[in-house]
Chains A and B, each alone.
Chain A
Amino acid sequence: MSMRTLPLLFLNLGGEMLYILDQRLRAQHIPGDKARKVLNDIISTMFNRKFMEELFKPQELYSKKALRTIYERLAHASIMKLNQASMDKLYDLMTMAFKYQVLLCPRPKDVLLVTFNHLDTIKGFIRDSPTILQQVDETFRQLIEIYGGLSAGEFQLIRQTLLIFFQDLHIRVSMFLKDKVQNNNGRFVLPVSGPVPWGTELPGLIRMFNNKGEEVKRIEFKHGGNYVRAPKEGSFELYGDRVLKLGTNMYSLNRPVETHMSGSSKNLASWTQESIAPNPLAKEELNFLARLMGGMEIKKPSGPEPGFRLNLFTSDEEEEQAALTRPEELSHEVINIQATQDQQRSEELARIMGEFEITEQPRLNTSKGDDLLAMMDEL
C-alpha cells in the first residue's frame, strides 16, 4: 500500500471538518469573532510546521480510530467543545464526504485537485491572518513538490489505499440521499455521464491498423454511458482553476448536516469485528499518535475567553437521543491494551493527553500505571 497517503487523507478530512464546523457555527449563531477564533485556532494547529513534518513522513495509514483521536484533539484546539455524540457525527460526516470525493475522482491524480480545493477554501477562512496563511501556503508548496511529479501508477496505488481505508463505511448522509448521489443502502451512485477524465478518449470507437501503423478499418459502437469531452485540465499550481468541484464546500446555512443512524446495522458487521478482535497494530498506533500529537502545538486558552459547546444536531435533546441510540458497533470505544509495556512512549502520550482540559468531569484516577486509552475514554 502507498506510504504517501496520510497527508492527503488528513488534509482532506480536516477540510471537511472545517466546512462542517463553519456551517454549524453559523447555524448556532455563534458570534462572528468567536467563530473566527475557533476556525483560526484549528487551522493554525492543523498547519503547524512540526505537525506537518511528522505528517509528511512516509508511513502507512493507521486505523480510523487512531485518526479520529487526532481530529478530536484538533476540534478541541480552541474554545469550542464537542460532546461525544457530536464528535461521532462530525467524524462520520467527514469520512463519508471524503470517501465520496475519492470514489468519484475521474483520474486517480484528481485527488490532488480535491485536496487543493479544500486548501483553497481553508485559505478563504483565514484570509485576514497572514501568519496562518503563510503556514497553509507552505503546506501547499510541499504538496506540489511531493505529489506533483508522481506517476499515474503511484496515484492509482494511493487511490486504492484510500478506498481500502474507507471500505465497509456506509453511513447514510441525508444531503447525499437527497441529491441522489447515495442510495438507501449507503452505497454511492457512480455517474455514467459527464466529462471523461482528462487524458481519456470518449468510449465508442475501435480502430484497426496494419503493420505500418496505418489505420485500415474503424468501427463505432454504443457505449451505454452519456459522456462528453473533458473541457480542460484542472490547475495543479498554487493558484488556479481546479475545474473539479469535488472537495469544494457543499454546506451552506440552508443545508443542515444530518446523518441517518437507524437501519444501518446490517452494514456494521465488519465494524463489530474490528472492535472485538485484539488489534495487533495497537502499539504502533499509539506510537503514531504520540508522534503526531506531540507535533501539535495547542495554545492554552489565555485571557477571559469563555468556552462554548457546539452541537452537531439541531437541539440538545436530539444530541442526547443520538448518544443513546447510536448502534453499539459504531460507538468509537477504544480497546483496552497493555500500553504500559512501552513505558517511555506511554509517558509521553500520557503527558500529551494530560493537556486536555476537562473542566466538567474531574478525573478520578491519575496513577501513571493506568491504561492510556481509559484516559481517552473520558473525553
Chain B
Amino acid sequence: MVAADLEGPYEPAVSRADLGLRVHWCVLPFRVLLVLASHRGIQMYESDGSTMVYWHALDSGDATPVQAVFARGIAASGHFICVGTWSGRVLVFDIPAKGPNIVLSEELAGHQTPITDIATEPAQGQDCVADMVTADDSGLLCVWQSGPEFTLLTRIPGFGVPCPSVQLWQGIIAAGYGNGQVHLYEATTGNLHVQINAHARAISALDLAPEVGKLLSAAEDTFVHIWKLSRSPESSYIEAAPLL
C-alpha cells in the first residue's frame, strides 16, 4: 500500500503545490516501479521508494494560459508504462529490465480532451488483441493494441459526461461516468452490452477483482456497489448482476 504524502525528500520535490497527485504501482515483467503523476510531470521510483529512476517534465508548449497542465492516468502494459496528459496525448515509456535508461518511445494521439484513466490487461488471444483502454474528460474511450508501435483498434464515443474511471477484464471494458452510470462494452467491437444506473452522483473509481470477475464502483453519492460480471452461456454477451 502506498499513501501519497505531499512532502518528499527528493528533487524535484513533491511539494505542497502538487495537488491532484496520482500514484500507481506499475508491475512489469522484471520489475515494479512506483509512478507519480501531477501537474509538474511524471516521476518514477524503484518500488521501495528509495531512488527516483526517471523524471519527465510536462511540455506545456501548446497550452493556452487558461488550460491546466497535468499528467493523469497511469498503467503498465508489457514492458511499457503509459501516462495520460492534459492535452489528451498518452505518453508511452519503454522500461528496461533494470536501471534508469527509460525512454519516451511514443506519444499516442486519439483524444482531444484531458485523459482521466488508463486500464490494461494481457491480450486475451487471437480474437481479442485489445490490451489497453484510455478514457478522457469527454467520455471518449480509445481501445489499443500495445507493441513497439501502439495501434488504435476502436473508439467508443462519449455522451457529454467525463469518464473518470475505466477497467479492462477478459475483453470487457467497464467504464464509470460522471452521471453515475457504469457501462460494459465488448473490447473487440466497441458495442455497449450493459448499462447500469448505478449511482446518483459522479463515479469516483472502479476497481476489479480479476480472479472472480467482481467489479466495484464507488461514487460521490457515498455508496459503494459490487457487481458480478459474466458472459451469457448461450450468446456469450456480457452480463452483470448486483451483489452489493
Contact = CB atoms under 8 A, between A and B. Distances in A.
B130 to A, nearest CB: 17
B105 interface: no
**What are the 9 tightest A-B residue pairs by CB atom distance, in nearest-first order?**
A153-B137, A58-B66, A221-B242, A201-B197, A153-B162, A205-B197, A58-B65, A200-B179, A207-B195
Interface in B184-207: 189, 191-202
A156 B191 contact: no
A4 B66 contact: yes
B113 A153 contact: yes
Contact of B197 (A106, A203, A211, A216): A203
A164 B20 contact: yes
A203 B68 contact: no
A135 interface: no
A225 interface: yes
B68 A3 contact: yes
A131 B193 CA distance: 58
Contacts of B15: 280
Interface string A138-176: 000000000000011110110011001000000000000
Contacts of A208: 193-194, 237-240
Interface of A: 1-4, 58, 106, 108, 151-154, 156-157, 160-161, 164, 190, 192, 196-197, 199-211, 213, 216-217, 219, 221, 223-225, 227, 277, 280-281
B205 to A, nearest CB: 14
B20 A160 contact: yes
**Chain A contact residues: over half helix, strand or loop, or mixed?**
loop
B201 A197 contact: yes
Given A152-B160, A164-B20, A219 B201 contact: no
Nearest to B64: A58
B171 interface: no
A152 B196 contact: no
B178 A219 contact: no
Contact of B223 (A157, A216, A224): A224
Contacts, number: 127
B173 to A, nearest CB: 14
Nearest to B227: A206
Contacts of A156: 137, 162, 164, 178, 202
A106 B191 contact: no
A161 B68 CA distance: 11
Given A156-B178, A164-B20, A201-B181, A225 B240 contact: no
A201 B223 contact: no
A4 B65 CA distance: 10
28 contacts: A1-B70, A151-B113, A151-B162, A152-B137, A153-B137, A156-B162, A156-B164, A160-B20, A161-B19, A164-B20, A190-B222, A192-B221, A196-B180, A197-B200, A200-B179, A201-B179, A203-B200, A205-B197, A206-B195, A206-B197, A206-B241, A209-B195, A210-B193, A210-B235, A210-B237, A216-B235, A221-B242, A280-B17
Given A206-B196, A227-B200, 16 more contacts: A106-B201, A151-B162, A156-B162, A157-B68, A161-B19, A190-B222, A197-B179, A199-B160, A200-B201, A202-B200, A206-B194, A206-B240, A208-B240, A209-B193, A210-B235, A213-B191
